[in-house]
Structure 1
Amino acid sequence: MSELILHNELPRGHEAEAAALYWEAFGGKLGKLLGPDDKGRQFFAKTVNPEAVIAATDKTGRLLGIAAHKAGVNGFSTATTADLFRHYGLGALWRLIPLAMLERDAPKGTLQMDGICVAETARGQGVGSALFDALFDYARQNGFTHVTLDVIDTNPRAEALYERLGFIATGEETTGPLKPLLGFNSATKMVLTL
């Protein structure tokens, strides 16, 4: 692989690429709420929050992966209710409650992971590991003592990876009657102490 360059913010001009990566990773979870695919990618491209994205590019500027985080109000997306109505029209109404259920705020001193995604052509080349290292460094440099994330029950490989990185499961939340809409039954909260 060519030289990997890490950025503490998403470089300008990569919003659509970052949205496509995010949708590729999480479209299965978000597709029924924010799809179809083209509409979901467009929604994220218009609302991506560059300050909440650690990005990996090669020396030509090609986006290889992203690690999104949430330290305040916004994570990967800055979308508001008004953005939902602008993009989905009256269809935003039925989306509001399920989307609110997916929203997470981290406790004080904790950085919330909001997704990690690596381009298919860059997988198995250390990009994901470099993004995790950069995310943990970012958290330490900004005074966070913990990193937290949620992993859904349909992704046991990710949960095993997080355990290898030192994350510990601290609780589980079920989706209840929203399972058919969300496509998963539960999410496990995991925490890493830095």
Structure 2
Amino acid sequence: MTKWLGVALLPRADHLRAAIRLQADVGGDVALQPPLHPDGNLPHVTVFQGPFADSLDPQVALGLIGAAAADDGLRGDVSLAGTGVVYQPTGWLFLALERPPLLERLQAASLSVLDEHLDRSSFDGDKDVSRFTAAERASYARYGYRYTGDAYAPHITLGRAEEETALELVRTAPDRVSVPKDWVFDRLSFYVMGEHGAHAQTLLERPLGRG
């Protein structure tokens, strides 16, 4: 049976709350969807997500990914600089984050563990990729996920609105909202994907730095 799961970096508790507030502040009178919540749809930075076969053992996989990350120096609190609220077709608002080499290597380590367990028969071959970049199309064709390799774009999803509304919210965000410069992450999670890839249910968590 196919399982739709993901691996993510989770913000430290105070920064998790800050991301939830930021969604409300950026949206203003518009309720961005799906709503972020500390007990449900968690703010997160996706490392990878997709459909997996029964051969995947999330506990074993997260252990391997976490150990590789620790060996590579990803330990304790990891700070990522925010680069602003950005628009992503269609209708999405992201808090964009920097992409340091350490994060690129974390994704590569994750893919090396997860690749063999992907259920490629569940990839959506009819998905509209017309607004994807060339790198995003290549990523989607190979892994069923838009943001890997050269297309990896670390971000916290703030939610979705009608297209014109989303564009206006992004345009006016710098004048309306004070966005924290740095965001701190302290653990990895394995999660059940919800609507549009949301972090709907946490299966496992692992503090950064456990070798």
TM-score range with shorter-chain normalisation? Answer: under 0.3
Higher relative contact order (CA 8 A, sep 6+): 2
> Normalization by structure 2: what TM-score?
0.24
